[in-house]
Amino acid sequence: MTKTEMKSSELLRTEKIISYVLRYGVLLCGFVIALGLTIRLAHIGTVPGSSRALISELLQGHILAGISPVHEPREILNGLISHSADVTMAAGLLLLIALPIVRVGMTVFLFLFERDWAFFVITLLVFSILLVGIVWGHAL
C-alpha cells in the first residue's frame, strides 16, 4: 500500500468516526428530548386537572408561563437527577446545539493529523470564535 493510499484510508476512517459521532449524537439528542416529553406527559396524567390546565394554557398561548430557564450547568444536573421534564428536554436541545461545535473541534484535529495547515488554522479560528462566543455569552 502506497503512502497516498494509507493517508486516504486513514482520512476515510477519521471522516467515518466524525459521521458516527454526528449520527449517534442526533439519536441521543432525540432520545433525551423524547424522554423529557414522556416525563412531562406522565406528570400530566398523575396530577388531577393538569391536562385540562395544559390544554387551557395551549389555547391561550401561555404555555411557557410556568417554565423557568436554566442558567447554570449545576441546575441542569440537578434537574436531570430529579427527573424534571423541562430540564431533560433542555438538555437534549443543548446536546443538539453542541453537536456542530463538536464536529468543528474534531475537524481541527483532522486537519492537524493531515498536516493541512491552511485549513487547520482556519478551522481552529472558527472553533476559537465558537468557544469565545459560548464563554462570553454572545456572538462576535
How many other β-carbons are positioned within 10 Å of the β-carbon of residue 93?
13
Task: State whether the Cα torsion 109-114-116-117 is positive or negative.
Answer: positive
SS3 138: coil
> Which residues in the chain land under pLDDT 50?
140
Q: Which three cell numbers stand for residue 32?
A: 433525551
Per-residue pLDDT of 43-66, as tens digits, reads 765 555 565 666 665 666 555 555
Quick one: pLDDT at residue 13? 83
> What's the CA gap between 134 and 140, in Å, rounded?
10
Quick one: pLDDT at residue 29? 96
CA 105 vs. chain centroid, Å, equals 14
> What's the CA gap between 109 and 124, in Å, rounded?
9
pTM (2 d.p.): 0.71
Quick one: pLDDT at residue 40? 82
Quick one: pLDDT at residue 99? 94
Is 99:80 a contact under the CB 8 Å cutoff?
no
